[in-house]
Amino acid sequence: MNETQQKDFSFLKEAIRQRASTFNHHLSTYLPDKEPKHLYDASRHLPLSGGKRLRPVITMLATEALTGTYEQCMPFAAALEIMHNFTLVHDDIMDNADLRRGSPTVHSDYGLPTALLAGDCLFAISFQATLRLKVPPTEFKTLQEQFITCIIDICEGQQEDMDFEERKIVSEEEYMQMIKKKTAVLFALSSRSAGIITHSSKEHIKALDTYGLSLGLAFQIWDDYLDMSSTAETLGKDIGNDIRNGKKTLIAVHALKNAQGQDKEILDALFGNRNASDLDIQKVHGVFERAGSISYAKDSAIQYNEKAKEALAVLPKSEAKEILTLLADYAIQRTH
């Protein structure tokens, strides 16, 4: 990363931090501290534990890019973030995870039954947040329908991701559809909703939808790339977990399709082997490199980054548009 890029990304991070700080004050008004205390403490635990707030910040920036201000979008931005946290509470239960954002997960701190209820509570509060929107009935109905569809898509994507671990072969088309549902649709709604809330043109709404969807895909594929191109110290995680669990990333999908001869035999024997040694993990990683799968994922993420930026061309020039453009670049240049 050169000096100009470092300067741009410093500007980006500060712009996100400022909006995230404003959003955090707004978010707390939706998360009551009341009885039964154990339930509401559990419900507040994850949403108030931090996070980059990328999704609500995207909604704020997209609204700014259209109108110059973001106040009118805040209830929907809150709904998106609360809904996102509901999915994380349940994801952590499914993964039996102990930590999230450096803190104990909800079920670790409050127990499994209360964690389930806390997730359900956040689900309901996310819809409650949308009631504060000041939009005409037609737009409100559209936002509600798209919010519901987004939640259903995320649930489908999560199930497909788990199902894929039990399958030997998954096509690239199936993989892309899965990450679209699991990750990208929420980014798309985060940006597209700004156009609906501000009564913008169909052209602008479509552009923001394309931006968000492409950004979400770039983020997820770049995560796949980082998992196989960075060290465990850089990522703060065991880079062998995905290999041992047979997780179908774009890299794995590409390698399983293209590996030949001895490399194919290595994948057949070791990919998805929960008892694989560190040496076995290195062998599989070598196959990924020789098949060109790691570079393939990198190139795919860059293509979606370009598509996201191209979509913004129809929006008027503004600082918010510049920040959205920088965010697309950051998606495929970050190291964690």
Strands (DSSP E) found in the chain: 99-100, 103-104
Structural tokens at position 177: 């559809």
Which residue is listed with tokens 């931005």?
77
pLDDT at position 153, please?
98
pTM for the whole thing? 0.93
What are the backbone angles phi and psi of residue 103, rounded to the nearest 5°? -120, 160
| Cα distance between residue 210 and residue 322, in whole Å | 17
SS3 318: coil
Handedness of CA 301, 95, 113, 104 (dihedral sign): negative
Which 8-state DSSP code applies to residue 180? I
Which segments in the chain show pLDDT lower than 50? Answer: 232-237
3-state secondary structure 77-143: HHHHHHHHHHHHHHHHHHHCCCEECCEECHHHHHCHHHHHHHHHHHHHHHHHHHCCCCCCHHHHHHH
Biggest CA pair distance of the chain: 63
User: pLDDT per residue over 25-66, tens digit each?
Assistant: 999 999 989 999 999 999 999 999 988 899 999 999 999 999
| Cα distance between residue 23 and residue 18, in whole Å | 9
pLDDT at position 3, please?
67
pLDDT at position 239, please?
61
CA 65, 19, 8 angle in degrees (round to 5)? 75
Structural tokens at position 71: 């106040």
| Cα distance between residue 267 and residue 280, in whole Å | 10
| Cα distance between residue 209 and residue 23, in whole Å | 22
| Cα distance between residue 250 and residue 229, in whole Å | 13
User: pLDDT per residue over 70-121, tens digit each?
Assistant: 999 999 999 999 999 999 999 999 988 888 888 899 999 999 999 999 999 9
Alpha-carbon 274 to chain mean position:
26
Strand partners, 100: 103
Cα separations (Å) of 179 from 186, 211, 220, 250, 274? 11, 16, 7, 10, 23
| Cα distance between residue 297 and residue 330, in whole Å | 16
User: What DSSP element (H or E) covers 40?
Assistant: helix 37-45
> Residue 213 carries which side chain, given as an amino acid letter?
L
| Cα distance between residue 42 and residue 121, in whole Å | 10
Helix then strand then coil, in percent of the chain rounded to 5, is 80, 0, 20
